[in-house]
Amino acid sequence: MLLALAVWWLTRDKEPVDPVAAAAGVSIRQQQLQDTLNNFNGDTLVLDGSVWGDSIMIAAPLQISRDSLYLFSPSGFTIAADTAYNGTALALAKTAKFVVVDGVHFQDIDTAIQSYNNTLALKNVRFLNCAVPLATYQTFPNGRYVNTAAAGAIYLTDTLSNINLQ
């Protein structure tokens, strides 16, 4: 019996290990989420608790390199930093055109979201203990003159969300 258990243990299917992810200390769950972000064909990714659980600890940024994406969590999926990680949670590519993050919570992260050129829309997003909730970078054509006014984005916060209504 013990011999059969040892043979099974040595020949069982093991999770494939991405050497880059392993070197960065990325968990299997984070790598699975990153693979899903990279490879799914739709325009809406639902972070459902029955599939992904309530939260994920990250040790490297989740990269969104798609043209457009609607990232939706009906139950308040939380992205939190691993204890040794001091970086960005969600990094949008410079080539992204429109990304919506809806119902996601970011917790204990230095920079929650990094985006370029006002391509990001937030809906029901919560930032808990994040030093920089949103870092937006503007890119301009090389060598061209630039004229602009102050950023035109309007950010609204819900002031009643922490009040118990009877």
pLDDT tens digit sequence for 91-128? 999 999 999 999 999 999 999 999 998 899 999 999 99
Dist. CA 157–CA 34, nearest whole Å: 29
31 falls within a domain: yes
158 falls within a domain: no
145 falls within a domain: no
Please state the three-class secondary structure of 98-138 as a single string. EEEEECCEEECCCEEEEEECCCEEEECCEEECCCEEEEEEC
109 falls within a domain: yes
Confidence of residue 135 (pLDDT cuts 50, 70, 90): very high
Tell me which residue range forms the domain holding 116.
Answer: 19-136
Domain count, the chain: 1
164 falls within a domain: no
Which segments of the chain does DSSP mark as H helices, in order? Answer: 2-11, 19-24, 28-39, 49-52
Q: What is the pLDDT of residues 15-45, one digit of tens each?
A: 444 444 444 578 999 999 999 999 989 999 9
Dist. CA 85–CA 19, nearest whole Å: 18
Dist. CA 146–CA 93, nearest whole Å: 22
| pLDDT of 4 higher than 70 | no
Dist. CA 37–CA 45, nearest whole Å: 8
| pLDDT of 154 higher than 80 | no
The distance between the two most distant Cα atoms of the chain, rounded to a whole number of Å, is 77
| pLDDT of 14 higher than 90 | no
81 falls within a domain: yes
32 falls within a domain: yes
27 falls within a domain: yes
Entry pTM: 0.76
